[in-house]
Amino acid sequence: MFGKLTDALKRGLAKTREKLASGLAAILPIGRTLDAATLDELEETLLTADIGPKTTARLMEEVRLAFKERRIKTTDDCRGFLEERLLAMLSADGATLNCAESGPTVVLVAGVNGTGKTTSIAKIAWRLSRGGKKVVLAAADTFRAAAVDQLAIWSERIGCRIVRQPTGADPAAVAFDAADAAISSGADYLVIDTAGRLHTQKNLMAELEKIKRVVARRIPGAPHETLLVLDATTGQNAIQQALEFSKVLDVTGLFLTKLDGTAKGGAVIGIRDQVAVPVKFIGVGEKPEDVEDFDATAFVRAILGREDVPTQPEGRAADR
Ligand SMILES: Nc1nc2c(ncn2[C@@H]2O[C@H](COP(=O)(O)OP(=O)(O)O)[C@@H](O)[C@H]2O)c(=O)[nH]1
Ligand SMILES: [Mg+2]
């Protein structure tokens, strides 16, 4: 399964591929001897691919060192090296959700408004439901009526239960009720939607803390997974958000959204490089089925346009 490029991933990352893969193809044509000028061009391409200045600098340092030490001599070596380094950066990542030992697994979903939390929850619920799991959703973003309604519509379409209260209710009370509902209905998963108002950062973090506390009272060990949703197209902002949330929440996974229709897919690498949390899912559209398990190999090969090159033998990256 791993390394397989699905059609949805290909489609979703089409613009990033166009930009990065075609850029690389032009700079690193097959079978040429590598030179310093080419490496400068490579650096520029990586920068315009939204990998970010810090990560690009780090990558280029490694590439230049490998060139200097004659570990890479040709354009082909350089591409292979780049693929290996990117893979090494993302190697810990993968799509499995943490799981409760017994009882419902609680997935807390956090992130700034508009990043795609509610949509991503629909995606997770859709996935789990299709896999035969029983899912309860908690509409704990009680700040906006529209947020609750949006989740309710998804729950109806997906066919899973939702626990909600009127707008303005205490989010923690909703989460507590939902935990009860999950236990009494024998649910496999409880997925909690939350608010993401940045301008009241302190309150928001206190609210998330309280949700965690009350849910843990009903379901020991909860939340088992704390997913942070980041809009991948916002690059440096997303990195900043990740750092802020990580200060107060024990974030266990990233859900990176909106990778479709953008040429900024390279941002995934920059985000991941600077945030020590595995990427678990990526969003490639607005529908519940527009979600991909994060598969580092497939992702790297997709953005580099390397899907036609045979996968390197296992362990090669680790040998370096
Ligand atoms: N193209 C695209 N749009 C997305 C994706 N995820 C979410 N959205 C859109 O982003 C907007 C905000 O999403 P929403 O789930 O309401 O964000 P929330 O405020 O964090 O709950 C909506 O218009 C979604 O349809 C994605 O992966 N791709
Ligand atoms: Mg929402």
Domain boundaries, the chain: 7-93+301-308, 105-293
User: CATH number of the domain at 7-93+301-308, out of 1.20.120.140, 1.10.760.10, 1.10.10.10, 1.25.40.390?
Assistant: 1.20.120.140
The atom of ligand 1 lying closest to the CA of 261 is 1
Which token pair is 302? 């997709």
Pocket test for ligand 1, best of 113, 153, 154, 286 (most atoms within 8 A of CB): 286
Q: What is the pLDDT of residue 218?
A: 95
Q: What is the pLDDT along the chain (320 residues), one digit of tens a residue?
A: 345 667 777 777 888 888 888 889 999 999 999 999 999 999 999 988 888 899 999 999 999 999 999 999 999 999 999 999 999 998 777 768 999 988 899 999 999 999 999 999 999 999 999 999 999 999 999 988 899 999 999 999 999 999 999 988 999 999 999 999 999 999 999 999 999 876 567 788 889 999 999 999 999 999 999 999 999 988 888 988 988 888 888 999 999 999 987 888 888 998 988 888 999 999 999 999 999 888 889 889 888 887 665 554 444 444 43
Q: Give which of 238, 243, 299, 303 is closest to 276, Cα–Cα.
A: 243
Residue type present at position 107: V
Is the CB of 261 within 6 Å of ligand 1?
yes
Which token pair is 192? 């909690």
Q: What is the helix (H) or strand (E) element at residue 108, kind and residue range?
A: strand 105-110
Is-contact 110 194, C-beta < 8 A? yes
Cis bond leading into 223, ω under 30°?
Answer: yes
Helix, strand or coil for residue 120?
Answer: helix
Q: Rg of the chain over CA atoms, in angstroms?
A: 21
Report the CATH number of the 105-293 domain.
3.40.50.300
DSSP assignment of 190-241 equals EEEEE---GGGHHHHHHHHHHHHHHHHHHSTT--SEEEEEEEGGGTHHHHHH
Strand partners, 141: none
